[in-house]
Amino acid sequence: MSDNDDDYIYDEASGEWLPASEVKAKAAAAAEVRDASGNVLADGDAVMLIKDLKVKGAGQTLKQGTVIRSIRLTDNPEEIDCRHDTIKGLVLRTEFVRKR
């Protein structure tokens, strides 16, 4: 199949046949990672916590307002991989961070 507007793809969520270009646009929009305020996040951004978070396995709490630098995006658009001074391999949910 070619990538022109004559191609249609069946969308199981809506139960309709949609143009291939529209399906690709929806997939690209869904891949964007957004913080709690709706700002788009990218690799290397700095974020700030908007809530106190207990870190499982580390036995400590990250306080609201803590700045996390150099985030990395993951395959899951709801999670980011990051480092804190005392915690390595930290994964945070995007609903608890705001872009700085």
**Per-residue pLDDT averaged across 5-19, rounded?**
83
What are the pLDDT digits (tens) for 77-100? 899 999 888 888 899 999 999 999
pLDDT of residue 22: 84
Overall average pLDDT of the 12-30 stretch: 81
Cβ neighbours of residue 9 under 8 Å, at least 6 residues apart? 17, 18, 19, 20, 23
Give the pLDDT of residue 30.
66
Q: Is 24 or 56 the better-scoring residue by pLDDT?
A: 56
What mean pLDDT is predicted for residues 43-59?
A: 93
Number of H helices, E strands in the chain: 1, 10
Q: In what order do the strands lie in the sheet containing 97-99?
A: 67-68, 47-49, 97-99
pLDDT at 1: 45
d(CA 93, CA 24): 26
Residues in the chain: 100
Chain region(s) in the chain for CATH 2.30.30.40:
47-99
Report the top-level CATH class of 47-99: mainly beta
Task: List, for residues 26-48, the tens digit of each pLDDT value.
Answer: 776 667 899 999 999 999 999 99
Q: What percent of the chain has pLDDT over 70?
A: 91
